């Protein structure tokens, strides 16, 4: 597979789409992200990278209150599933197959096009994960927010991950490296980051509004 491609294997697809995972996302992850970053304004334009079957985008609309969501996934089968789940939202949702590392090609996304970007456990799947963070920084409007839930190198090195799932093996990130990369693209963590045993991190980072120079 190429440098941008790392699809989920069967075991991970089953896990990600399982009821326990949905519950975890709805009753824990979303609560943490809402506590750090709050709800969006009613007309907010949101983007979900690596949307999988679209459950996260549904939560972005219903729990975060986004006006509309664009969602991208590398796997065409996932985009098809997401299309079925999200059909009822009509033109509030736009789906595209493509890579989070090149949102211009995938969605024709320009600079500062989004008020919020959501990452529910996808950046660790991307070999060139820094390119995905750079894209998040580019497409966010000043004042916009990046809501993230990620899996670290520490988790990916665990025997259970190695046995069951397929992930890139090189250049994975610790929580600190992920946060450093956000800073490298001008994204400032709001408050603190929730870390779970060095394996997972959840938080929200903002793209600052440039100070006005009056004079």
Ligand X SMILES: C[S@@+](CC[C@H](N)C(=O)[O-])C[C@H]1O[C@@H](n2cnc3c(N)ncnc32)[C@H](O)[C@@H]1O
Binding site for ligand X (CB under 6 A): 4, 6-8, 16, 49-52, 55-56, 72-75, 78, 99-101, 120-122, 125-126
- Output the six-digit token pair for 128: 């060139």
Q: What is the DSSP code string of 40-52?
A: PPTT-EEEEES-T
Please give the DSSP secondary-structure letter assigned to residue 128. Answer: T
Q: Taking the complex as a whole, how short is the minimal distance between the CB of residue 53 and ligand X, in angstroms? A: 6
The residue at minimum Cβ distance from ligand X is 52
| Residues 116 and 40: beta-carbon distance below 8 Å | yes
The bridge status of strand 200-206 relative to strand 140-151 is: antiparallel
Name the token pair of 8: 């989920």
Adjacent-strand bridge partners of 96:
72
């Amino acid at each position: 597979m190429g440098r941008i491609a790392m699809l989920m294997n069967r075991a991970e697809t089953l896990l990600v789409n399982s009821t326990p995972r949905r519950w975890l996302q709805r009753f824990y992850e979303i609560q943490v992200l809402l506590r750090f970053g709050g709800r969006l304004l009613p007309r907010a334009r949101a983007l979900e990278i690596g949307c999988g079957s679209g459950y996260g985008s549904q939560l972005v609309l219903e729990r975060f209150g986004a006006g509309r969501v664009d969602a991208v996934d590398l796997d065409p089968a996932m985009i098809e599933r997401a299309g079925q789940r999200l059909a009822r939202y009509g033109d509030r949702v736009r789906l595209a197959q493509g890579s989070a590392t090149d949102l211009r090609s995938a969605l024709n996304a320009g600079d500062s096009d989004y008020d919020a970007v959501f990452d529910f456990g996808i950046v660790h799947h991307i070999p060139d994960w820094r390119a995905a963070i750079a894209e998040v920084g580019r497409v966010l409007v000043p004042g916009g927010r990046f809501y993230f839930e990620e899996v670290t190198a520490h988790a990916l090195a665990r025997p259970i991950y190695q046995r069951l799932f397929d992930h890139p093996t090189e250049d994975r990130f610790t929580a600190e490296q992920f946060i450093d990369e956000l800073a490298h693209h001008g994204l400032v963590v709001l408050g603190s980051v929730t870390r779970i045993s060095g394996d997972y991190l959840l938080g929200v980072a903002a793209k600052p509004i440039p100070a006005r120079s009056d004079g």
